[in-house]
């Protein structure tokens, strides 16, 4: 395992570095439209990508495993996204206009992780979190876990029963591994991300879930590697890195590195990618973001493994 983990981490470092380089070069395409009121901006197409850009940067900063160039890129990506959101003012206006929605808070959380704050938004979120409405929001279980993790990142109290929410997710039920489809696997990956805060707390995954994932991740990886679904592959590799004892899967990393373009872009799936960055951006920025996160976590987990001192024999 030691040699295979080292090989996977070496490949992952290359993948992450190239992906961050592409994001840096393509950052102008994350720009919000000018003079458009926040409530008229496409949340999924414009606000969410900025939150994901901040997520990548915040995790690279948190892990502290990147080289100087990659660390600098990560910091500039977060700063760029924060400026686009007018120092958090856009998120504040969106949250104030729609108190029951959760996505402004979820977008805000990685900025806080990276050290950025908006006082009025923080006060509003604390107030909204104390309302009865916050305890009865109609959310899917894995979405409810996203709110729990955002609250944890923001330092806000959360009265949710995490064990109950986990048990209600597809993953928490440890169902037959073949009883799954493409979208369900995405939901599964995010259950893991939220329970562990993107690998920061592997113990947030119950032991029986960890056993289940060790058993069936190889099969799911094999299926989607054959299908060339690189976005999902990168997410499944992150799942592995959120486990207490990751398996690293060096062959999967080699395939992902082989699919990555020379400029760092990672294609969503087995489709032709336009040459122009502007045209490629919409469909392929996300797998590139995810690959950057996966690569960062792989290097960090391997570094942690390598520095652990074995306990002395009794």
Q: How confident is the model at residue 312 (pLDDT cuts 50, 70, 90)?
A: very low
CB under 8 Å to 224, separation ≥6 — which residues? 185, 232, 233, 236
What is the model's pLDDT at position 306?
81
What is the model's pLDDT at position 163?
96
In this structure, of 34-48, 114-128, 180-194, the range with the lowest mean pLDDT score is 34-48
- Length of the chain, in residues: 314
Sign of torsion, CA 304 234 102 61? positive
Residue 66's Cβ-count burial label (10 Å; 0-12, 13-18, 19+) is buried
86: left (phi > 0), else alpha (psi -120 to 50), else beta? left
Span 78-90, pLDDT tens digits = 999 999 999 999 9
Which residue's structure tokens are 């993948």?
15
**CATH of segment(s) 2-301:** 1.50.10
What is the model's pLDDT at position 307?
80
Which SS3 state, helix, strand or coil, does residue 270 take?
coil
Q: Is pLDDT at 243 greater than 50 in this prediction?
A: yes
| Maximal C-alpha separation, the chain | 69
Tell me the angle at which helices 277-307 and 2-25 cross, rounded to the nearest 10 degrees: 150
What is the model's pLDDT at position 311?
47
d(CA 177, CA 86): 44
d(CA 107, CA 150): 9
Q: What is the mean pLDDT of residues 24-36?
A: 94
d(CA 247, CA 2): 10
What is the model's pLDDT at position 53?
98
261-293 residues labelled b (16+ CB within 10 A) or e (exposed): eeebbbbbbeeeeeeebeebbeebbbbbbbbbb
Q: Is pLDDT at 48 greater than 70 in this prediction?
A: yes
d(CA 274, CA 276): 6
What is the model's pLDDT at position 1?
58
| Residue 154 and residue 164 in contact, taking contact as beta carbons nearer than 8 Å | no
94-106 residues labelled b (16+ CB within 10 A) or e (exposed): bbeeeeeebbbbb
d(CA 130, CA 227): 45
The domain segmentation of the chain, as residue ranges, is 2-301
What is the model's pLDDT at position 313?
43
What mean pLDDT value characterizes the chain? 95
Q: What is the mean pLDDT of residues 245-249?
A: 97
Q: What is the pTM of this model?
A: 0.95
CB under 8 Å to 258, separation ≥6 — which residues? none
Q: What is the mean pLDDT of residues 66-85?
A: 97
What is the model's pLDDT at position 102?
96
d(CA 191, CA 174): 12
Q: How confident is the model at residue 310 (pLDDT cuts 50, 70, 90)?
A: low
d(CA 289, CA 236): 14
Span 194-213, pLDDT tens digits = 999 999 999 999 999 999 99
What is the model's pLDDT at position 191?
98
d(CA 88, CA 75): 16
d(CA 31, CA 10): 32
In this structure, of 20-29, 31-40, 62-71, the range with the lowest mean pLDDT score is 31-40
Span 128-179, pLDDT tens digits = 999 999 999 999 999 999 999 999 999 999 888 999 999 999 999 999 999 9
Higher pLDDT, 306 or 149: 149
- The share of the chain scoring above pLDDT 70, in percent, equals 98
């Amino acid at each position: 395992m030691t040699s295979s983990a080292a090989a996977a981490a070496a490949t992952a470092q290359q993948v992450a570095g190239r992906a961050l380089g592409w994001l840096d070069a393509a950052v102008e395409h994350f720009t919000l439209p000018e003079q458009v009121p926040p409530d008229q901006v496409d949340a999924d197409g414009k606000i969410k990508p900025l939150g994901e850009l901040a997520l990548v940067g915040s995790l690279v900063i948190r892990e502290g495993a990147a080289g100087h160039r990659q660390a600098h890129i990560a910091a500039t990506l977060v700063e760029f996204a924060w400026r686009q959101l007018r120092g958090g003012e856009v998120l504040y206006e969106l949250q104030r206009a729609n108190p029951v929605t959760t996505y402004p808070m979820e977008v805000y959380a990685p900025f806080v992780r990276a050290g950025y704050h908006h006082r009025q938004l923080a006060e509003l979120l604390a107030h909204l979190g104390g309302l009865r409405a916050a305890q009865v929001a109609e959310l899917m279980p894995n979405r409810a876990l996203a709110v729990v993790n955002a609250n944890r990142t923001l330092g806000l109290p959360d009265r949710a029963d995490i064990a109950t929410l986990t048990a209600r997710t597809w993953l928490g039920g440890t169902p037959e591994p073949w009883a799954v489809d493409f979208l369900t696997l995405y939901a599964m990956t995010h259950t893991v991300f939220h329970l562990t805060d993107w690998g920061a707390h592997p113990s947030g995954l119950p032991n029986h879930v960890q056993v289940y994932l060790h058993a069936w991740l190889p099969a799911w990886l094999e299926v989607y590697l054959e299908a060339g679904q690189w976005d999902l592959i990168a997410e499944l590799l992150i799942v592995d890195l959120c486990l207490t004892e990751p398996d690293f899967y060096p062959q999967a990393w080699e395939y992902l590195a082989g699919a990555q373009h020379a400029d760092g872009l990672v294609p969503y799936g087995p489709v032709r990618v336009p040459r122009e960055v502007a045209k490629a951006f919409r469909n392929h920025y996300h797998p590139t973001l995810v690959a950057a996160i996966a690569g960062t976590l792989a290097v960090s987990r391997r570094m942690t493994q390598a520095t652990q001192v074995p306990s002395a024999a009794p």
